[in-house]
Structure 1
Amino acid sequence: MNDQQIITIEPGKRGGKPCIRKMRITVYDVLGWLASGMSHAEI
């Protein structure tokens, strides 16, 4: 699976930021959570 199958950019969703497909969670949110110490299971 490549990143194009997981990440989408839609102008009307979350200000055009890259999001996880079919969700309103941005890639920046996920990276921030990982950087703060959350585990994959917690996310």
Structure 2
Amino acid sequence: MTDAINEWITIDPEVRGGKPCIRGTRITVYDVLEYLAGGMSEQEILADFPSLASEHLRAVLMFAAQRERRLAVGTPHEIAA
């Protein structure tokens, strides 16, 4: 799981202000999550962004799940921050 995240998700202060992005693109994890939450299907996202593949979208979901898991086991003041 972490291998896919490390392979496809990067954080570079010079790209999109250091937000987590899909490697080789300026598409952020947040962008993809927002598209999915807005009702776009995987097929629609891939059609709109030909540089993306299914494994990129899975890496985005794994990254978000891992971050959520870290928040869930954090201390109350970390969760509120």
Which band: TM-score by shorter chain? Answer: over 0.9
- Aligned to 1:28, what secondary structure does the other structure show? helix
Return 5+ residue gaps in structure 1 as ranges: none
2:12 to 10, 16, 22: 10
Verify: 1:32 aligned to 2:1, yes or no.
Answer: no
Q: TM-score, normalised by structure 1?
A: 0.93
Aligned length: 43
Would you tell me which structure has more strand in proportion to its own residues? 1
Question: CA–CA distance in 2 between the matches of 1:19 and 1:2?
Answer: 13
Return 5+ residue gaps in structure 2 as ranges: 46-81
Question: CA–CA distance in 2 between the matches of 1:18 and 1:41?
Answer: 22
CA offset at residue 17 of structure 1? 0.1
**Percent of residue pairs bearing the same amino acid type:** 63
Q: TM-score, normalised by structure 2?
A: 0.51
Which digits, 9 at most, give the CA deviation of each residue in 1:1-43, with x for residues without a partner? Answer: 5211110000000000000000000000000000000000111
Task: Report which of the two structures shows the higher radius of gyration computed on alpha carbons.
Answer: 2
Q: How well do the aligned residues superpose, as a CA RMSD in angstroms?
A: 0.9
